[in-house]
């Protein structure tokens, strides 16, 4: 690389640090209506909710539970493809530790399609509860990012930014 190219890239990097570029947020196919970290999940509902900082015993999991709403676009995807992809991406610092599919599988769609269609007809949207968990935990801060099947970050209902809840984990 020439000295001129190097200086150009350095100056551009410096400008971007001083004047960061803000990327417009694009809404995903779904929105999150409720979410929580928990120490367990029963009947697809979070139990033993935790926030901020949590002590996790050895050989125990930390769950990220959430309920999402899907509108016409999400229902169209389910009708056309028979599943709706939703992923939870667990991060620790800048490292992605897990990328877990938690959406509506073909089996779940076949079992729940009548109730989801009925809810959509009555309310104009449907809700679905799901979760992921992390079994191998280390001390530190964790963050979960939810993405839809188009790889777009998902927001809480009414928000215009990606929902990224974090929690500090302490182990013995």
Which two structure tokens, joined as six digits, stand for 141? Answer: 């801060």
Which pLDDT value is given to residue 171? 80
User: Residue 76 domain-assigned?
Assistant: yes
Q: How many domains does the chain have?
A: 1
pTM to 2 decimal places: 0.81
User: Residue 16 domain-assigned?
Assistant: no
User: Residue 110 domain-assigned?
Assistant: yes
Cβ neighbours around 78 below 10 Å, total: 24
Q: CATH number for the domain including 65?
A: 2.70.50
Which pLDDT value is given to residue 7? 57
Determine the structural domain holding residue 161 and report its residue range. Answer: 22-171
Distance CA 125, CA 107 (A): 20
User: Residue 150 domain-assigned?
Assistant: yes
Which pLDDT value is given to residue 21? 36
User: Residue 3 domain-assigned?
Assistant: no
What is the rounded average pLDDT of the residues 33-37? Answer: 97
User: Residue 152 domain-assigned?
Assistant: yes
User: Residue 17 domain-assigned?
Assistant: no
Which pLDDT value is given to residue 51? 92
Distance CA 114, CA 59 (A): 38
Q: Is the pLDDT of residue 16 over 80?
A: no
């Amino acid at each position: 690389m020439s000295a001129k190219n190097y200086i150009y890239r350095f100056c551009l990097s410096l400008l971007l640090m001083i004047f960061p570029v803000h990327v417009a947020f694009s809404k995903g196919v779904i929105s999150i209506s409720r979410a929580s970290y928990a120490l367990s999940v029963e009947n697809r509902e979070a139990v033993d909710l935790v926030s901020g900082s949590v002590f996790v015993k050895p050989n125990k999991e930390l769950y990220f539970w959430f309920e999402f709403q899907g509108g016409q676009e999400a229902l169209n995807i389910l009708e056309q493809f028979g599943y709706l992809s939703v992923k939870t991406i667990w991060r620790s610092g800048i490292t992605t530790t897990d990328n877990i599919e938690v959406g509506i599988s073909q089996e779940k769609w076949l079992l729940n399609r009548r109730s989801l269609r009925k809810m959509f007809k009555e309310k104009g949207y449907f809700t679905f509860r799901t979760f992921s968990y992390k079994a191998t935990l280390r001390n530190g801060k964790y963050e979960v990012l939810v993405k839809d099947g188009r790889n777009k970050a998902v927001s809480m209902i009414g928000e215009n930014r990606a929902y990224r809840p974090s929690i500090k984990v302490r182990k013995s």
